[in-house]
Amino acid sequence: MSPPAIFETIRRDGVEELMRPASALIMSALIAGVALGFSVFTEALFRSHLPDTDWRPLVENLGYTIGFLIVIMGQMQLFTENTITAVCPALDEPGREVFLRLARLWGLVLVFNLVGAWIFGTILYLTRGYDVELWLAVRDLSEEAVSHPWLETMLRGIGAGWLIAALVWVLPNARQSKALVIVVVTWIIATAEFTHVVAGTTEAAVSFWDGHQTLSQAIFGYSLPALIGNVLGGTVLFTILTWAQIRTELQEPDECPWRTNESDRSGHRSGARRRR
């Protein structure tokens, strides 16, 4: 599949997401936030059963991929996927209505992803007495995740945002290897210690409940810089730059739902290649 064809595939998916009702976005995002918590849980589970050696991170970070497998293969609403999927229609058909829909989707998905992450982090804390070794691994991973300064957290977030956007971009060509691609990309995120706003918020929640940081530090010292980095990496450094290199090759898109009235007024649309 060529780059313009990949863009069109993602754009069509983005149009569908932008038109979904708020209730569907909220529930899907909430479930995704909870499900992504299994990245932290499984990574900690692996750590609790592995010896403390130099190669341990290479193995335990495979656990980090589990939550992403559940969310992406299950087609749940994940904010960092929408730094590319929902942005493509806005780049191709810019206008007030599409930007409002993008803001609506981003806002709902982000908030309820984070609510789900906090729910999972709270559950991990409340059940800490059932498996002490597992809890100690969860606590250590959480403290490591939130230990970076604000600027470093943001910069690490750029790497995660770029890789998630790249993951969305390559999946249409992955065919039967989608699960493997997800595992490889998210394993790199974990091994490089990049910051992902949703998965990391589960760790920030654990760190808050354990008394390692305040609520303000968890939100503004971790989640906020991770969010900024994820958007910069996913939307600015990947999506916009990728669109810029192929925009002259893109065909006139199909009519978008929010453009119907304007199209009726203008009479017809050219089928020529776009030249912006």
Within the chain, strands assigned E span none
User: What total number of domains does the chain contain?
Assistant: 1
Per-residue confidence at 248, pLDDT binned at 50, 70, 90?
Answer: confident
CA distances from 29 to 17, 34, 109, 125, 184 (A): 12, 9, 5, 22, 23
Q: What is the pLDDT of residue 273?
A: 35
Residue 276 in any domain: the answer is no
Structure tokens, 174: 């992955």
Residue 143 in any domain: the answer is yes
Domain assignment of residue 50, given as a range: 3-248
Q: What is the pLDDT of residue 255?
A: 58
Q: What is the DSSP string of 184-245?
A: HHHHHHHHTT---HHHHHHHHHHHHHTTSS-HHIIIIIIIHHHHHHHHIIIIIIIIIHHHHH
Q: What is the pLDDT of residue 247?
A: 84
Residue 82 in any domain: the answer is yes
- Cβ-proximal residues to 107 (8 Å cutoff; 6+ apart), any chain: none
Residue 91 in any domain: the answer is yes
The percentage of the chain sitting over the pLDDT mark of 70, rounded to a whole number, equals: 91
Residue 42 in any domain: the answer is yes
Residue 133 in any domain: the answer is yes
Residue 269 in any domain: the answer is no
> What CATH number should be reported for the domain holding residue 9?
1.20.1080.10
Q: What is the pLDDT of residue 101?
A: 94
List pLDDT tens digits, range 143-161: 999 999 999 999 999 999 9
Q: What is the pLDDT of residue 47?
A: 95
Per-residue confidence at 254, pLDDT binned at 50, 70, 90?
Answer: low
Residue 263 in any domain: the answer is no
Tokens 């203008």 identify what position? Answer: 266
Considering the chain, what is the average pLDDT of its residues? 90
Q: What is the pLDDT of residue 271?
A: 39
**Closest CA relative to residue 112, chosen from 16, 35, 215, 40:** 35
The percentage of the chain sitting over the pLDDT mark of 90, rounded to a whole number, equals: 82
